[in-house]
Amino acid sequence: METKTSKATFLLRAGNLKEALSIFRTFRIGFTKEERRTLQIASESLSGNSLFYQQLGIDTNKEIEKSKSILASKYL
């Protein structure tokens, strides 16, 4: 049986960050509140809503890079 974690980890290793983030952002356990927010912003930015966050003054590229390092440290 394939779990959400194994599927998301497989997608992350395959280089499909957008799909992996769409799964990881739903996790409540294993991430701090700030890490969950970073994953959410990165996921939505990759899905085409980056302009909204940029209007709020959030550097979406920085959030995407932070999400990569968070996921790499925990799952790779």
> Residue 1's pLDDT is what?
76
Residue 40 CB-half CA count within 13 A: 11
> Which residues of the chain are under the pLDDT cut of 50?
none
User: Strand (E) positions, the chain?
Assistant: none
> Residue 28's pLDDT is what?
87
pTM, to two decimals: 0.88
> Residue 65's pLDDT is what?
95
